[in-house]
Amino acid sequence: MAKVLPGSPQPPRCRVTARAGYTPSREGVVVALDPAAGEFRGEDGLGEDDWDSWVRLTERLGTRIQLVGDDLFVTNPAIIAEAIEKKVANASLIKVNQIGTVAETLQAIRVSREAGYAPMVSHRSGETEDAFIADLVIGAGCGQNKSWPARGERVAKYNRLIEIAAADQSSSHGLHR
């Protein structure tokens, strides 16, 4: 992160984080850009067929930031395993209805976790207010949920996470430790 001299304006990425109420730091918030979405997120930083560039990106940044394979991995355990072997990315976006079954989804989570890749459960566009993925995040120990932006069907997932947290305040709430 760029150094900010006293009295100098903060770099844009610091201002965005500060506006959200967080203090940027190595231990604090990490923000990444999803160029395809034009919004701040941390997935698919390169083309889904550009494996060579993914390898180079991971070599350069993979120890410092979370690099999430979304369209690159398509929640497919075999593709995730290939990416792990090639040292591509360090996290995987998991979408139940992308791979097709809950069993395959759990296998993708397991393959990711066993290699030290962080699994992040995600919504899919055009979905309903069914909050199952909130339970999946907690039950599978993912600890990360992507349900953004805050629209009705995605707010339902946040509400379910709040219900789970309120019901068991001693839980790690899905953080696999």
* Residue range 79-102, pLDDT digits in tens: 999 999 999 999 999 998 888 899
Residue 153 or 125, more confident: 153
Q: Which domain holds residue 86?
A: 31-167
pLDDT at residue 167 in the model: 86
153 found inside a domain: yes
Distance CA 111, CA 135 (A): 20
10 found inside a domain: no
Please determine, for residue 30, whether its predicted confidence score (pLDDT) is greater than 80: no
pLDDT at residue 31 in the model: 44
135 found inside a domain: yes
Please determine, for residue 177, whether its predicted confidence score (pLDDT) is greater than 80: no
List the CATH number of the domain containing 154: 3.20.20.120
41 found inside a domain: yes
Distance CA 60, CA 118 (A): 18
Among 7-16, 17-26, 46-55, 111-120, where is mean pLDDT lowest?
A: 7-16
Please determine, for residue 133, whether its predicted confidence score (pLDDT) is greater than 90: no
118 found inside a domain: yes
154 found inside a domain: yes
Please determine, for residue 159, whether its predicted confidence score (pLDDT) is greater than 70: yes
pLDDT at residue 32 in the model: 43
Full 3-state SS string of the chain: CCCCCCCCCCCHHHHHHHHCCCCECCCCECCCEECCCCEECCECCCCCCCHHHHHHHHHHHCCCCCCEECCCCCCCHHHHHHHHHHCCCCEEEECHHHHCCHHHHHHHHHHHHHCCCEEEEECCCCCCCCCHHHHHHHHCCCCCEECCCCCHHHHHHHHHHHHHHHHCCCCCCCCCC
Amino acid occupying residue 121: V
Q: Into how many domains does the chain fold?
A: 1
120 found inside a domain: yes
95 found inside a domain: yes
Please determine, for residue 38, whether its predicted confidence score (pLDDT) is greater than 50: no
Distance CA 91, CA 112 (A): 7
Percent of the chain with pLDDT over 70: 67
